[in-house]
Structure 1
Amino acid sequence: MASILSNYKMPQLTYGSPSVVNNKSPSVFFQWMFPNRDHHYMGILQLLLHFRWTWIGVIYLHVQSAEEFVHNVLPIFSQKGICFDFIEQFPKIASSNNIVDVMGKGMDLYNIAMRSTANVLVVHGEIQSMMILRMLLHLSKFEDRPVKKKIWVMTAQMEFTSLAFQRDWDLDFIHGAISFAIHSDKMRGFQEFLLGRNPQLEKEDGFIKDFWKDTFKCWFHDSEFDMKAEKICTGEETLDRLPSSVFETSMTGHSYSVYNAVYAVAHAVDSMGSSKFRQRRVVVDGGTWKLSQPLWQLHHFLRSISFNNSAGEEVSFDQNGELVARFDILSWVTFSNQSFLRVKVGRIDPKAPPDKVFIISEDAIVWPSRFDQARPLSMCNGICRSGYRRMKKEGEPFCCYDCLPCPEGKISDHEDMDECFPCPEDQYPNNEQNLCILKVKSFLSYEEPLGVSLAISALSLSFITVLVFGTFVKYHDTPIVKANNRHLTYTLLISLLLSFLCALLFIGRPEKGTCLLRQMAFGIIFSLAVSCVLAKTTTVVLAFMATKPGSSIRNWVGRRLTVCIVLFSCLIQATICTGWLATSPPFPDFDMHSMTEEIVLECNEGSVTKFYCVLGFLGFLAVVSFTVAFLARRLPDSFNESKFITFSMLVFCSVWLTFIPTYLSAKGKYMVAVEIFSILSSSAGLLGCIFPPKLYIMMLKPELNNREQLLRRK
């Protein structure tokens, strides 16, 4: 009708469901008391996303506006993450002849809806949609089909009314439903106006008697007798006694639109009558208002009209002839007396700032009893809680997925995350993998048992070394001390003392100074100790070789040779350490990765190659010392140390050979502990294998510590 009447330039104003018109140019002669449907549909989408209802069913009426909703709007819903369990039509009633077919299709639709795993069903339709839906739910009781409580989300085009035969039907199915409606406000005097309607007073209203008879189930004397009527209409019946499912006396979105439509026409006529185009004023003929201008001119004023109604709200149209207004979001509450209440719980206001367009008060919503007043879920599967990630199910809609635990080292701190992510370097995942915990800084300190025990061990061995050194100084003139070069013995004891004390540099928080000093001190001190052992052994070997007549080796025997061996060995190690310091010196560093829950404060070696060069040279000295001592172990001498040195170097080499794999497999502060243990144990091996036999003679067998005994044994 809108298109046909537009051909005759007949202005029209639609106050009900909006028509679908492809041509919205200014030449089209109609206006809508219905806001832009795009805002309406986007409001439904925002509602679904707000409550995370991503798994829904859709039922729509066989009308053009609903079909456009399915074909044009639902794809947008899919792009935003909404999945559809089903999209079905209400059965189309073409004539009374197909009622059986309609009921069969209706029951099929009912079965689809009730068996659906979606808890939310979107219904797009008009006033007859509610009638059909209510009929299907009512008939299911007679076929012993369970009614599963669903949350119905209804579009603003739908209105509720009860036909005469539906008046006593249960309303519980709609309890907890959510619907959209054109914004309405309380209009002063409206309810009094409705309650004042009476068929006895409205003589010229030909419809009110029919309405009265159907509503109150009565009949008038001047009308045909209705067999269904139980009483005579007196005209004293009052509308406020009717349940709201039969008749609502409050202002609804529909009646609000009618009210505004009438006043829009009135204002347009008034503007037209007072405009410069006026030729003659509006004429009253027998109580009927007539316009002296052509009717098509009224459309111009109707399109540009803007006024405030009696509720103080502005009424105007946009460039497409649609009402500029917002939508209300309503929550339905039903009662046992066939009444219901629609509570405003939110709104869609396209004129508001972006963050205020969609407003919802979740606490004001009354949910169906099935959900125990908790927010219902409508998802293809359960929520993937934090610590898990979503994995799409093959062959299922995109919002159907499995929940898989996050891989090791990653977390997800929100529900339904598609991917897990690693924690920052200074944090680590908790056991549930849903939270990052700050790593604690870790280093070998004097405040923990391991650090304390190593420090006590180093100090104890240092004290023992001092006692040994003191004992040797006390007996420095005895043959057993003079044998095998007592100055080398003193140097060896001092180097062992420094080795034990050197271990203390590895305990405590790494600083720039200690990082530079610890490895340099370790390398040079140990080179001094091993070179002393090598010099001792070499002196024994050369001494026996020099006893042969005419041997030129005799010139090398003495303090000069031992000093050369010790200085040359230490010089080479010092050169390596100097190059290390000059190119890439050790420095304090943070190891974020070797330990899961700790940040290891360590001394970065700077150059691993230089570090292994230091160890390699020490290993070379140790192997040479072991070899020479092994060859000299059977030389005849009362105080020959070679066999003890052989065993001590065997211990020394064993310790440092096992150090490398142990050091590489250890993590964090335990790497430092391994190095300290290797320093202490190798030094203790030298001290414990070389000196106890001499101490035994000096302290317990002094009779053996004399020149005569030495010559006799030779």
Structure 2
Amino acid sequence: MSFKANGDPPAQFDIVKWLFLNDGSTVSRKVGSFDESNEENQLYINSSADLWSPNFPEMPRSLCSEPCSPGYRKSKIEGEPPCCYDCVQCGDGEMSNTTDAVTCVKCPEDQKSNRQKTDCVPKALNYLSYMDTLGASLASAAIILFITASVVLGIFVKYWDTPIVRASNRNLSCLLLISLMLCFLCTLLFIGRPTKIFCLVRQAAFGIIFIISVSTVLAKTLTVIIAFNATKPGSKLKKYVGTQLAIFIVSACSLCVTLICVVWMASSPPFPEADTYSETDTIILLCNEGSVTFFFCIIGYIGTLALLSFIAAFLAKDFPDRFNEAKNITFSMLGFCSVWGAFVPAYLSSKGSRMVAVEIFAILSSSAGLLICIFAPKCFIIFLRPELNTREIVVKRS
């Protein structure tokens, strides 16, 4: 016989099965034992004993609720004993992989719970890809418009000495066509997985190239106004007729936006970012603009130049027919301002790849408007109404 540290003898218990019958009687039967002094077999259950039958076909449960399966957690029922509970499925971004889990485990930021809420799986990546229908459509449109602008540029070079090309200030027209071609190409920087280089380059390239386009249109408009007023007797505007004023306008506007971009890139440059909070099932890959103020400063600068071009062209739209390019510029600037006026609310209300698609659509549609409204009438005269071009040559030679 041995005793414990406090003088207690080893515990010895009989494991007894008690059955309480419907007639009020009880039946007991020994089915095992527990002997703390027997180190080899402290707990003994007689496997041949009939533990539960005939009254119970299986082991009775001590709970009044079914066990909660993986993907669910236990939720206490108010006013009921702790053994009674409801099973509540884990929420989005949570999982449980055990039975009767007390709480659900939150998935990492870059993962989501599967449909059964039993495991965490990686989130899908959301960005405007060339493999998506939207990205492929925008990229195809950009390439088609680039080819169209290239063809128009080739037409102007081929018919360089014709009156219709000379009357449209051919140097500025070629500069405008080249800048439009670059505008179409710069949209390709917005498609694809955002990287550090693309995030740095795309907004600066867009701002500078677009300002060159709009400032060229402004220079063409002012050239028309100055050329018309310089023909009046005693006009002091004759000294401004030529390409020097146009070069100054384009250079000054481009230098201004270049300084804005340099300050932007030096102080708060754009960088790639993964947004894991806006959507529960996807990770949005985007370019954080760094400073929204600089971004909308460039948009406002573009809008201001476009509005000035529209006002100047509208005032010059009633000039004689040989200066009728102002009418085309008026329509092009009207469409241009409408597109970028609708861009701001659409851009701010979009998320993920749709935000990028909105900006690409604004760039393509406004640039295409300039290309069509300004150059389509000239190509029409060159190919479908050549007699107008010839007639003007005869008049000028006479």
- So what's the TM-score if we normalise by structure 1? 0.50
Cα distance change of structure 1 residues 369 and 465 upon mapping to structure 2, 3 Å threshold: farther
Unaligned ranges ≥5, structure 2 = none
1:209-234 residue CA offsets vs partner (Å, 9 max, x unmatched): xxxxxxxxxxxxxxxxxxxxxxxxxx
Q: 1:181 aligns with which of 19, 30, 33?
A: 33
Question: How far is 1:324 from its partner?
Answer: 7.6
1:130-175 residue CA offsets vs partner (Å, 9 max, x unmatched): 7xx55x517359xxxxx9xxxx9xxxxx864xxxxxxxxxxxxxxx
Q: 2:215 touches 2:250 (CA, 8 Å); kept in 1? A: yes
Indicate yes or no: 2:316 matched with 1:601.
Answer: no
CA distance in 1, matches of 2:69, 2:251: 69
Q: 1:484 touches 1:539 (CA, 8 Å); kept in 2? A: no
Cα distance change of structure 1 residues 527 and 138 upon mapping to structure 2, 3 Å threshold: closer
Cα distance change of structure 1 residues 32 and 25 upon mapping to structure 2, 3 Å threshold: closer
Q: 2:11 aligns with which of 9, 13, 34?
A: 34
Secondary structure in 2 matching 1:691: helix
Question: How far is 1:25 from its partner?
Answer: 6.7
- So what's the TM-score if we normalise by structure 2? 0.86
Q: Percent identity?
A: 49
Q: 2:100 aligns with which of 416, 419, 438?
A: 416
Indicate yes or no: 2:23 matched with 1:139.
Answer: yes
Q: 1:180 touches 1:327 (CA, 8 Å); kept in 2? A: no
Q: Which residue of structure 2 aligns with residue 429 of structure 1?
A: 113
1:512-527 alignment runs, 5 A limit = 512-527=196-211
Indicate yes or no: 2:14 matched with 1:328.
Answer: no
1:526-585 residue CA offsets vs partner (Å, 9 max, x unmatched): 000011111111222233333444333333333121111111111111011111111122
Q: Which residue of structure 2 aligns with residue 197 of structure 1?
A: none
Q: Which residue of structure 2 aligns with residue 383 of structure 1?
A: 67
CA distance in 2, matches of 1:621, 1:416: 67
Secondary structure in 2 matching 1:139: coil
Q: Which residue of structure 2 aligns with residue 498 of structure 1?
A: 182
Question: How far is 1:458 from its partner?
Answer: 1.4
Question: How far is 1:464 from its partner?
Answer: 0.8
CA distance in 2, matches of 1:532, 1:369: 99
Indicate yes or no: 2:345 matched with 1:667.
Answer: no
Relative contact order, CA 8 A, sep 6+: which one is greater? 2
CA distance in 2, matches of 1:531, 1:369: 97
Amino acid paired to 1:619? G
Question: How far is 1:654 from its partner?
Answer: 2.1
Question: How far is 1:467 from its partner?
Answer: 0.7
Question: How far is 1:700 from its partner?
Answer: 1.1
Greater Cα shift, 517-526 or 617-626? 617-626
Amino acid paired to 1:387? G
Q: 2:304 aligns with which of 591, 604, 620?
A: 620
Indicate yes or no: 2:253 matched with 1:569.
Answer: yes
Q: 1:486 aligns with which of 163, 170, 191?
A: 170
CA distance in 1, matches of 2:55, 2:253: 88
Q: Which residue of structure 1 aligns with residue 368 of structure 2?
A: 684
Q: 2:275 touches 2:284 (CA, 8 Å); kept in 1? A: yes
Question: How far is 1:655 from its partner?
Answer: 2.0
1:420-459 residue CA offsets vs partner (Å, 9 max, x unmatched): 3432111112233332211233433333433333222211
1:372-411 residue CA offsets vs partner (Å, 9 max, x unmatched): 65x6543232233333333322222334333334344433
1:591-612 residue CA offsets vs partner (Å, 9 max, x unmatched): 3233433333333222222222
Amino acid paired to 1:669? S
Q: 1:451 aligns with which of 135, 139, 142?
A: 135
Cα distance change of structure 1 residues 471 and 324 upon mapping to structure 2, 3 Å threshold: closer
Cα distance change of structure 1 residues 554 and 411 upon mapping to structure 2, 3 Å threshold: farther
Q: 2:315 aligns with which of 605, 626, 631?
A: 631
Cα distance change of structure 1 residues 413 and 648 upon mapping to structure 2, 3 Å threshold: farther
Root-mean-square deviation (CA), in Å? 3.3
1:319-358 alignment runs, 5 A limit = 327-330=42-45, 333=48, 340=49
Q: Which residue of structure 2 aligns with residue 510 of structure 1?
A: 194
CA distance in 2, matches of 1:599, 1:671: 15
Cα distance change of structure 1 residues 367 and 608 upon mapping to structure 2, 3 Å threshold: farther
Question: How far is 1:709 from its partner?
Answer: 7.4
